[in-house]
Each structure stands twice: as structure tokens, then as C-alpha cells.
Chains A and B, each alone.
Chain A
Amino acid sequence: MKQYIIKRLLMLIPVLLGASILAFSLIHLAPGDPARTIAGEHASAQTIERIQIKYGLDKPLITQYWIWLKQALQGDFGRSIVSNEYVSKEILSRFPNTLELTLFSMFIAITVGVLAGIVSASRQYSLLDYGFMGVALFGVSMPVFWLGIMLMMVFGVFLRWLPISGRIDIMIPFTRITGLYLLDSIITGNWAAFISSLRHLILPSLALGTIPMATIARVTRSSMLEVLKQDFIRTERAKGLPERLVIYKHAVRNALIPVVTVIGLNFGLLLSGAILTETVFSWPGVGRYVVNAVQMRDYPAVQGCVLFFAFIFVVVNLITDIIYIYIDPRIKYQ
């Protein structure tokens, strides 16, 4: 077990090195002189010279990569061409917004998805089952940006129940501690801020959570059906255990193992989805930041985001695999 985790951690190194090479080569693959690309179109000759020295752009490519990597490892991706702020600072200040959005979507997706899956499986071929699975089928084919627009239109524009963009009502005083608005407003006991940020969070999270919700519901259902066919379930039914206990106490525990993998796999989709959802709802997260950076050809920012996303993504995959061994001791890893 320990050995497996260590092995997996070591395997992260080549992957992250590869990701860093990819991020590094962005500047060199992009058309034009790298120094000018980093400095931006309107940079002065002095700035360009300063950058050439800082990144050693007159030295061999390997040396340049080494210089860049050393700086990147210290969290220095250079300054954004657009805002002239440090890229790392910009990413870190936006990350809590993306984190809160993805966590809340996952929360919705898991609760609704697992429940719908269990109900569907325990009443296989009922109207409810067909209903849930029909919705789930549409859910997996849904373009997340379009769903976001539709939710915005129905609940924001026509019904006027919820706000359609932004993070919190700007009129409400808010103290930033962690950057996670719900958490911060609980810590400071600011209920007005809590309710306002929750209201802003609902539509984007619903949009982002729907696809994983649908996948989770489908996997839960098929995994539940599999478990319900097994001998120990028949034994429990035979000894007269109430159906409710059979399903919720014994079957669900065993059925959720594949669901954990799916949740992990969906995290990547969620990051991709966050890029789109943040654009639709003007959510000030890392996803929208990377899109803007690409549009503005802000290469240092793109490089920073690439490494940042790759890091988050592989770490989440690692965590999923580790959780997987804990909950299913039948699996043996070499």
C-alpha cells in the first residue's frame, strides 16, 4: 500500500516534467521572437532586453528550459502581458473561485446522481427509472455552455429568481479570508453575504454539475443492479431483512466503489466544463483567465495555467486511485 503510493508519487515526476516541457515550448512554438512574445507587442526595447537576460534567451534551448523551470518551480511564471501582475499571484487569487464552483457542482452531482441511481436500480423498469435514465441520457450529451445559457435564461431572465453573473452582490460588505465565499461568510458570521454568494453559486454549479450528475446516476444504477444480483443480497432478503435495509445498508456500500472512480474521472471534465461555465456566467475563476490569456496571447499566463491545471489534474487522479484502494481492499496493487 505504502509502496504503491510512493510509486504513484514517483510516476508524477515524468508526467509533470512533460507538462512543463509542453508549457515551456509554447513560447518557442508560437510565431515570433520569444522575448517579444513574453514582453508583449508594445514592450520597450529595454524590457525586451531585460527579458532576454532573465530567461537566457541567447543560450541553448536546454539551458533556457532549465532557467525557466527553476523559476516556475518557485512559482514564478513571469508577469502577465495584459495586467503586468505576477501570473502566479493572478492564478492563486482566482483559484478559490474555481475551487468553490467545482466543489459545489460535485456536491450537487454526487448527491442527486447517487440518489437517482439508487432509486432507479431498486425500481428497475419503473416509470421513475425510465424518467431518471432518460434525463441522464440527455445530461451526458448536453453542451455545458448551452445548458448554462438556458438556466440563465429561465431562472435568471424570465423568472428572475437568481442572479445571472458575478460572485456576490457588490452592495454587500464582504471580508475575504480564504477566497471561498461560502466559507468566508460562515467564518465571519455574515449571513447576508452567505445567502448572496450561495444564490450566485447555484446556476453555474447546476450547469457544471449536470454532466457528472448524469454519468454518476448511470454508473450507480448499473453498479447497484450488479450488486443486487449477488448471493449475499439474496441471503439477506431470504432471512427477512426489510428491503430498505437491504438496499441502503448493504447494497449501496458495495455499489459505490465504481462510482468513486467515475467521480475521479469526471474531475477532468469538470475542469474543462469550468472553463466554459465561467465564461458563460462571468465567473472570475482560472478557467476564464486561461481563455482570456489565449485570446490576448498572454503567453506567460497561458504557461502558468497549463502547469497549474496539469498539477491539479494529476493530483486529483492520484487521490482517486488511493481512495479506491481504501474502499475496495479486494484490489491488490503491485
Chain B
Amino acid sequence: MDKESVGSELLRRFKYNKSAVFGLIIMLFMIFCAIAANFIAPNDPYPSPPLLANKLKPGFWSDEGAPGMPLGSDGLGRCVLSRIIYGTRVSLTAGFVAVAIAMILGITFGVLSGYFGGWIDAVIMRIVDIMFAFPALLLAIVIVAVVGQGLEKAMIAIGIVYSPQMARIIRSSVLYIKEMEYIEVQKAIGSSHWRIIFRHILPNSIAPVVVYGTLMLATAILDCAALGFLGLGAQPPTPEWGAMLADSYSFIVSGAWWAATFPGIAILLSVLGLNLLGDGLRDVLDPRLKQ
């Protein structure tokens, strides 16, 4: 089978998976919002000075709404819709960076552990066990406690926290591939470890990396928002969804429900989209992983 037919076969299987296509559409929409935020957002996400006269105005459903702010305004008179649109940029970037860090660390240690085995494997896997002894969010909070608060630090913290999971996945994939005959052949003809790892093992472990990377992106966005909500991630005035929720949920008591409702829907939708996409990719790329 040549490469093209494998690709079109995968594409065909993917297209039949309705929920995965739906997930992909949500994701593409999010990415579009992130890229085109400057053009599609109706207002400035950080007007300065703050338009306090427009504070907590409802949106399109009310006659008293602030003009040009379809989803209403927040406690500082800023347009909720515009901040959500700019927020896709923050959340997607944070998620991608965190997953990239997790992948770099996870692949490095996973390959070392699975390929070389022995004491290297033992040491790495014990460290992984220790990191698994903490709920992920708690570990991220602890890292933030050391390195300090802020969006960049939150991304790094989440990346580190997710790396053991990635390392385990890669390790088991490497252990499986290592026993294949073509690897034996490579060893027999004297290929270097380097060459075997980069040319033969890694390209064959790509399926689980893509699948779990997508699912991990979903939880990374969720955890970044959680840190933002706790005041440990993105700091105001950054339009980050979690931080937006933290800023505005005290206003629900006075009836201003919109500022705390819509950012949460944005989080929910992007996580849902990525979960659907990840599940779909798993079914398509790696039928063995299907439960």
C-alpha cells in the first residue's frame, strides 16, 4: 500500500465519524477566532480608561443593553464577547504550549526509558510514579507556588505535570516497537541508537502521540482556565476565560449573570470539541486503542 492510499483511507474513516468531524469544526472555528480576533471582535478587549459607565450592561436580549456589545459588558464595562474572542488566543496558545512542553519532556524520557531499559527505565519510572501520586491540578498549583503566578508560568507548570503521562504512553509504544523484526534488522546492520530512535521508533509512535496530544490539549485548556480562575494563572487584565470567570462571578448575586456565563460556555465548547476530535482520531488512527 502506498502512502496516499493510507491517507485517503484514514480520511474516509474520519469523515464517517460524525462526532469527530463536529469536534474538528469546533476546533477550526476556535483557531479562526484566535487568528482573526483583531478583525472579528466588535470592541477593544482592554479599553483604557475603563468605561465604567457601561458597567454590567446586559446584551442583545435586553433593551437596556450596551450598544455594540451583543453579550453584555463586565464589571469594568468591557465587552464580554470581544474578551471571549481574544480569550481563544490566550487559551489555545496556553494549551498548545503546555502540551508541547509535555510532549518534549514526555517523548525524551519515554524513549530513554523504553529504549534503553535497565536502571534508566527504573529511575525515570519511579519519578513518574511519584508525580502520579498527586492530583494533576494540585501538582500544577505547587509548581506555581515555587515559580510564581502568571500565565507563562501556569503553562510551564501544566506542561511539566502532564509530561509523566506522555512518558508512559511513549514508553509502552517504544517497548512494543522495539521488539519488531525491522528493529532487529537495523541493529544487525549496525545502525546507531540515534538513527533507530529517530528514523524508526519515533515515526511509528506517532499515532498515540497525536491521539493523546489532542485529548491532553483539552485538559490543558481546562486546567489553565482553572489556574486562571484560582488567580494563579493569567492575571488581569488578560482576557483569559478562567480569570474572566473569577472576575465576574461575584456579580451574579446582583443578577448580572452574563459575564460569568459566556466565558464558561467557551471553555466547555473548546474542551468538548477537542474531546470529540481526540476520540475520533483514536478510532481512526489506532483501532487497537479503542476500548
Contact = CB atoms under 8 A, between A and B. Distances in A.
Q: Do A and B come from one complex?
A: yes
B199 interface: no
Interface residues of A, number: 48
Interface stretch (A15-23, A47-55, A176-184): A15-23
B271 interface: yes
Given A141-B275, A143-B222, A26 B136 contact: no
B222 A271 contact: no
B29 interface: no
Contact of B264 (A22, A30, A143, A314): A143
B184 interface: no
Nearest to B127: A18
A314 B133 CA distance: 6
A101 to B, nearest CB: 15
B1 interface: no
A142 interface: yes
A91 to B, nearest CB: 14
Nearest to B126: A14
Interface string B127-159: 101100111111001101110100000000000
Contact of B249 (A19, A149, A290): A149
A295 B232 contact: yes
Interface centre among B146, B232, B268 (most CB of A within 10 A): B146
Contacts of B103: none
A16 B134 CA distance: 10
A92 interface: no
A283 to B, nearest CB: 14
B146 A157 contact: no
A79 to B, nearest CB: 18
Given A18-B127, A146-B267, A297-B145, A272 B137 contact: yes
Contacts of A137: 272, 275-276
B27 interface: no
B230 to A, nearest CB: 5
Contacts of A207: none
A26 B133 contact: no
Contacts of B129: 14-15, 18
Interface in B12-49: none
A132 interface: no
B291 interface: yes
A301 B146 CA distance: 13
A276 B226 contact: yes
B225 interface: yes
A14 B133 CA distance: 11
Given A141-B218, A269-B135, A275-B230, A149 B252 contact: yes
B130 A15 contact: yes
Contacts of A31: 148
Given A142-B268, A280-B249, A18 B130 contact: yes
Contacts of B276: 137
A59 to B, nearest CB: 22
Interface string A139-158: 01111111101101100010
A169 to B, nearest CB: 18
B72 to A, nearest CB: 14
Interface string A288-309: 0011011101010010001001
A310 B144 CA distance: 17
Given A149-B264, A153-B260, A222-B291, A313 B133 contact: yes
A302 B222 CA distance: 23
A203 to B, nearest CB: 13
A138 interface: yes
Interface string B217-245: 01000100110011110000000001001
Contacts of A56: none
Contacts of B271: 141-143
Contact of B130 (A22, A143, A295): A22
Interface in B177-212: none
B268 A138 contact: yes
A10 B253 CA distance: 51
A146 B222 CA distance: 11
B139 to A, nearest CB: 9
Contacts of A268: 135-136
A29 interface: yes
Nearest to B248: A149
Interface in A248-305: 268-269, 271-272, 275-276, 279-280, 290-291, 293-295, 297, 299, 302
A164 B229 CA distance: 18
B138 A157 contact: no
Given A294-B145, A294-B232, A302-B145, 20 more contacts: A15-B129, A18-B127, A138-B272, A142-B271, A143-B222, A145-B229, A145-B242, A146-B268, A150-B261, A153-B257, A222-B291, A268-B136, A269-B135, A271-B135, A276-B226, A279-B229, A290-B138, A291-B232, A295-B232, A313-B134
12 contacts: A14-B130, A18-B129, A26-B146, A31-B148, A137-B276, A140-B275, A142-B271, A143-B264, A149-B252, A272-B137, A290-B138, A294-B144
Interface of A: 14-16, 18-19, 22, 26, 29-31, 137-138, 140-147, 149-150, 152-153, 157, 164, 222, 268-269, 271-272, 275-276, 279-280, 290-291, 293-295, 297, 299, 302, 306, 309-310, 313-314
